[in-house]
Amino acid sequence: MKVHARFHLSETTRLRVSTMVDGKWGSIEGLRVKLQPVQGEPFGSATPSGQLEMVIANPEAAAVFSEADLGQEFDVLFNAVAPRDE
């Protein structure tokens, strides 16, 4: 089963994040994004409540949000995945 939701960008914040850089842990600039659910259609009374927050270290992925206007809408699709064998 899949769950489709639509969120709008409400905040972007630059911050330092730890990640692997050339095989060693290092500090780079990342981006925290906060998204709020879009009210109304196409979801009507099924509009979710809450907030989606992500800290993104990948510069290309962060650019999607840093270059977007506040209020830009994004579709999100939640899809269950099989457990990993560990």
CATH number at residue 64: 2.40.50
Whether 25 is in a domain gets the answer yes
Q: Domain limits at 73?
A: 2-79
Q: Report pTM.
A: 0.79
Complete DSSP assignment for 1-18: -EEEEEEEEEEEEEEEEE
Buried b (16+ CB within 10 A) or exposed e, 50-59: eebeeebeee
Mean pLDDT of 59-81: 94
Whether 84 is in a domain gets the answer no
Whether 85 is in a domain gets the answer no
The reported pLDDT for the residue numbered 10 is: 97
pLDDT > 90? residue 45: no
Mean pLDDT of 69-85: 92
Number of domains the chain contains:
1
Whether 86 is in a domain gets the answer no
